[in-house]
Amino acid sequence: MAIRLKSTRPEDRRIRFSETALHWLCLCVVCLGTLSVAVIQRGQLHLDDGEALAALNQAVMEGGAVMSRVSMSVLYAALAMLALPVYAKLLTAAMARTENRKAVLLYLTGCALLSEAPYDWAMHGQWFDLNVQNPVWGLLLAGLMLAFFQEKQSAGLGPKILMACGAAAWALLLRVYTGPDLVLLCALMALAEKKWVVLAGGAAVSLLHFPAPLGMFLVPLYDEQSQPAKYWLFALLYPAHLLLCGVLGLLVGG
């Protein structure tokens, strides 16, 4: 007698990542990007020094250990950009939950404030730098924009597009690192209805931070049914990792 096998739908066999798993993945690759700057570039290669760039060019031409460190730095920095569209997706999903909006905005505000000085120190070697702001400010601006979208659901597409452009402009004026891209990615994910539009548009928006467009392939793997992540935990881990990488860079640099 023939045995009928249990059917499984293709979407059930697809690999899925929970919200918490994606947060950990993003934190790990962001940590690699911070290590690239704080430990390798500033600590080992001393790129903050006035004549360091000329010395580095000469060392790279000669090859050896310095060339290996430069390659590692470039690789780590590239991997960090993969988190850009994933963070946009996580924020968009979190803000879509009515009960979580205020908590998300509160944690983003605290994380942005706590991270500013450690970010400047780890990435630029000084505790206060107005030339660039940490990327959490971009997430906060995007969160406020998404809250506006939720409050004005009955409004047409025009006001929402204007709000997105305004939030991106603020991120640009405040010199938030990757801020405009985060805002535009969140707006695209919140307003576009077709998945292929989100993927194609997201790849185009994040093209300036290549290989960030490759991170768009992780976006469809997000499990919409997963439990919300512990936002407070990751809001504390981000500034903590900046301080740790800054200390490591200081120790390595002597």
**What number is the average pLDDT over the span 178-192?**
94
Which pLDDT band holds residue 254 (cuts at 50, 70, 90)? Answer: low
**What number is the average pLDDT over the span 163-177?**
94
Helix, strand, or coil (residue 31): helix
Phi then psi dihedrals of residue 130, to 5 deg:
-85, -5
State the total domains in the chain.
1
- Answer yes or no: is 8 within a domain: no
Per-residue confidence (pLDDT) for residue 210, from 0 to 100: 86
Q: What share of the chain is helix, strand, coil (3-state, %, to 5)?
A: 75, 0, 25
- Answer yes or no: is 184 within a domain: yes
- Answer yes or no: is 5 within a domain: no
Are residues 38 and 248 in contact, defined by beta-carbon separation less than 8 angstroms? yes
- Answer yes or no: is 4 within a domain: no
| pLDDT above 90 coverage of the chain, percent | 52
For 34, counting Cβ atoms within 10 Å of its Cβ (0-12 exposed, 13-18 middle, 19+ buried), the class is buried
pLDDT digits (tens, 9 = 90+) for 44-99: 776 765 545 555 565 556 555 666 777 777 888 889 999 999 999 999 999 988 77
Which pLDDT band holds residue 6 (cuts at 50, 70, 90)? Answer: very low
- Answer yes or no: is 7 within a domain: no
Q: What does the block give as tokens for 164?
A: 């997105």
Average per-residue pLDDT for the chain? 85
| pLDDT above 70 coverage of the chain, percent | 86
- Answer yes or no: is 88 within a domain: yes
Are residues 78 and 103 in contact, defined by beta-carbon separation less than 8 angstroms? no
CA distance 207 to 55: 31
CA distance 94 to 104: 7
- Answer yes or no: is 11 within a domain: no
The pTM score is 0.86
Which pLDDT band holds residue 3 (cuts at 50, 70, 90)? Answer: very low
Which pLDDT band holds residue 197 (cuts at 50, 70, 90)? Answer: confident
CA distance 201 to 204: 5
Per-residue confidence (pLDDT) for residue 56, from 0 to 100: 54
**What number is the average pLDDT over the span 26-37?**
93
- Whether 9 shows a pLDDT value over 80: the answer reads no
Per-residue confidence (pLDDT) for residue 59, from 0 to 100: 56
- Answer yes or no: is 116 within a domain: yes
pLDDT digits (tens, 9 = 90+) for 121-153: 999 888 888 889 999 999 999 999 999 998 887
Which pLDDT band holds residue 190 (cuts at 50, 70, 90)? Answer: very high
Which pLDDT band holds residue 5 (cuts at 50, 70, 90)? Answer: very low
Closest to 122 measured CA to CA, from 196, 177, 181, 165: 177
Per-residue confidence (pLDDT) for residue 2, from 0 to 100: 46
Task: List the domain range (segments joined by +) for residue 36.
Answer: 17-253
